[in-house]
Structure 1
Amino acid sequence: MKRNMRAVGYRTAGGPAVLEDLELPVPEPGPHDLLVRVEAVSVNPADVKLRAGADPGGKARVLGFDAAGVVEAVGGEVTLFSPGDEVYYAGSIDRPGSNQRLHLVDERIAGRKPASLGFAEAAALPLTTITAWETLFDRFRLGPDSTGTLLVMGAAGGVGSMLIQLARVLTGLTVVGTASRPDSRRWALDLGAHEVVGHDELPDGVDYIFSPFTAGKIEQYARVLRPGGQITAIDEPPGLDLLPLKSKSISFHWELMFTRPLYSTPDLLAQHDLLERTAELVDAGRVRHTATAHLGKIDAEHLRKAHETVENGHMTGKVVLGGTV
């Protein structure tokens, strides 16, 4: 007999009010899948963007990427985990989301939860960690001996918070962040930024720029970057003109942390590996979690509040639900 489970989803695009409590069938694991009992989740701008603009046409769609929980069952080809293991992960944009009691995730994009963190704290990490890691080491191709200056736009946001920490711990870069409010400036400095400046007070002579909001910024980036510098962007502004970058031979990269799972790339296991390495760094006290707001249990009421909080654009760190803190 098919079991049902609790979930939160939406049937039509709109504001946070469209989120509703649901009863859905428990999914069956595929060959490489973990069936995870979700204990905690966090909400990301990607959740808000999809809820507002991706209309499922009346069919229930479950959002959620970041999750931490316990493995309940595994697919027939799973080798990395066993039932009872505590895991954390960010999932994939082409599968049902983590805002449900039992959730499927490919073992190759999950990692063992940091032992020193609770589920809620761990749920704050995966999506932003993967984005930051891939920015530094796959797009910019940096390493432990890399030097120069990294400019992190929106340094107090989720990805910026992890970029600062990983760059400080795993590279030789000088890290400059941008922030506008006193609390977000303090947050970025506490995480390890060497300097924090205003969003429009960018220093000259930087080598790398991380850009979460790129519209209208290209000419400014071209001015402050050194010749041969690099930019990695995670947004998709329409009509983006990159021509101002040409005279300095500046490279422009896109980063989408869902690329590997979306296309089942040969190096899919890299996301498992980086989450495992991050857990080691967290447990060693070298990287800290970025959860700053715990808004209650995982249900429609509390997820609506979380979406509203993320949507207002003034978050420092991450919003989490479920688990305990």
Structure 2
Amino acid sequence: MRVSMADVAVRAGVSAQTVSRVANGSPRVDPATRARVEKAMADLGYRMHRAARALRTGQTSTIGLVVSTLASVGNSRMLQAISEAAAARDYALAVVTVKERGIRDAFARLRSQGVDGAVVLNEATELARDVEPPADLHLVVVDSPPDPRFSIVQTDHAAGARAATMHLLSLGHDTVHHLAGPVRSFAAAERERGWRAALVEVGATVPEPVRGDWTSASGHRAARALVEASAVFVANDQMALGALRAFAEAGRRVPDDVAVVGFDDIVDAGEYRPPLSTVRQDFDALGVRVVVALIAAIEGGEPVAESVPTSLVVRESSVAG
């Protein structure tokens, strides 16, 4: 026998309207009630029929994701987090890239698939800022300066970079060098801003940053210019891996001769040699906030701006174990 919303409501001790809001991904349900309803759904094996919901609401329960590349660890982790957060609210996910086609084409492709709204991720956000988004396509942008046209969810990159830099300075280093990300990346600019602010705050020399493109190979190339440094903050963990190789090739021991801190805390960061100190991004929290903000926009809510905090993870690359 098919489980109904009424059955779920009885099991969860809420109204059928509350069950409907949870099933439709509405953000207007407090977390404890949502968890109770979702548990009742799971216990009873309840599933919302997507086609029926589309007929009733005029929405497809599908959201889009616009991304420039999935080659970077950060982007692939965000894809996973957004996909899981959408699935938990019974939304499907359609992914388009803008590497070969423009942002307008990406929006057009999503609209042709009938998505209810879309997320624009990281490097693609610069492209989104340069065009007027379609009036009938609700957007949430990940990592962007303030923009009244859409909701923005971002990591507090600057605070994370400041914490990493202050950590290195606390170890007695006169200054901290920076291996930065791409010049047009918002996240890279924010991390550079946090690094620079920490040095200025303590009156330390601010060295000219060297720059990579987020890949390990670019980190290896760029770090060759930093082999005389005693402390380096690297804008992501992939470039930090290349930097560790460059320092090893130059006969520089980490952390004895040069202390290194990365950014992201990717899954393998603790397996580097030595294990990498890094700034942890909470990709799961980002994914949830992105999806909740997009569902709210789809339901007529006003644009929001949210920032997700980071945390410093200290391992052997900056402090000998």
Structure richer in strand, relative to its length: 1
How would you bin the TM-score normalised by the shorter chain?
Answer: 0.3 to 0.5
Larger of the two Rg values belongs to structure: 2
Q: TM-score, normalization: structure 2?
A: 0.37
Q: Whose helix proportion is higher, 1 or 2?
A: 2
TM-score, L = length of structure 1: 0.36
Q: Which has the higher contact order (CA 8 A, sep 6+)?
A: 1
